[in-house]
Amino acid sequence: MANSISRLEKLYFRLEAQVACLAFAFSEIATRPGLVFELGLGHGRTFDHLRKNLPSREIYVFDRQVDSYPDCTPDTEHIILGELSQTLPVAASRFAGKVILAHCDVGSFSAEHNKTMSTIVSAHLPPALADGALILSDLPLAIPETTRLPLPPGAREDRYFIYRFSSSRT
């Protein structure tokens, strides 16, 4: 056997964790009202997964530009383009307390970029969150009002993070 996982396994385990965490989140929020923030559209695969599994939710997607499959692109009212440091504070104010699920997929191969993105999300996402909201993130976040939850069964990879937001904390 190999000593370390291959890049193929890395992507596979990452998707496995993502699918398992999203299934957990879909179940957890089933009885709670609220909308969804997707930070990072990318090719639109996760957006497609969100809309298929949450057909009655409004989903707002953030990215710098549209680079998704044509059939995985949100309509113009639900895509918010620009730098997250600019767009997230505005959206968090517009949708204050209404977001029940935030999925954050804004990491890259640059540690410096990841630290910056984690800081931006940690600083500007909280005002948007409803009490009990879940945050799923590819980067560790530092939001005092959240508790980190264990990953659900089926998620082998530990580089994925689930936080629950409580408006009564700190």
* Nearer residue to a copy of itself within complex by CB, 33 or 55: 55
* Residues within the interface to a copy of itself (CB under 8 A): 1-4, 6-12, 15-16, 18-19, 22, 43-46, 48-49, 52-53, 69, 72
What is the closest distance, in whole angstroms, from the C-beta atom of residue 19 to a copy of itself in the complex? Answer: 5
Q: Which is nearer to a copy of itself, 38 or 122 (CB)?
A: 38
Q: Between β-strands 129-137 and 161-165, what pairing exists: parallel, antiparallel or unpaired?
A: antiparallel
Q: What are the distances in angstroms from CA 145 to CA 7, 37, 76, 170?
A: 35, 18, 32, 6
Q: Least separation, in Å, of the C-beta of 152 and a copy of itself?
A: 15
Q: Element (H or E) spanning 61, and its range? A: strand 59-63
DSSP-H helix ranges across 69-110: 84-94
Which one, 105 or 143, has the nearer CB to a copy of itself?
105
CB of 55 to a copy of itself, least distance (A): 8
Distance CA 59, CA 37 (A): 6
Pairing, β 35-39 against β 59-63: parallel
Residue number with CB closer to a copy of itself (78 or 98): 78
Q: Sheet containing 79-81: which strands, arranged edge to edge?
A: 79-81, 59-63, 35-39, 99-104, 129-137, 161-165, 146-149
Question: Taking the complex as a whole, how short is the minimal distance between the CB of residue 42 and a copy of itself, in angstroms?
Answer: 10
Q: How far is the CB of 4 from a copy of itself (least distance, A)?
A: 7
- Nearest residue (CB) to a copy of itself, 120 versus 138: 138
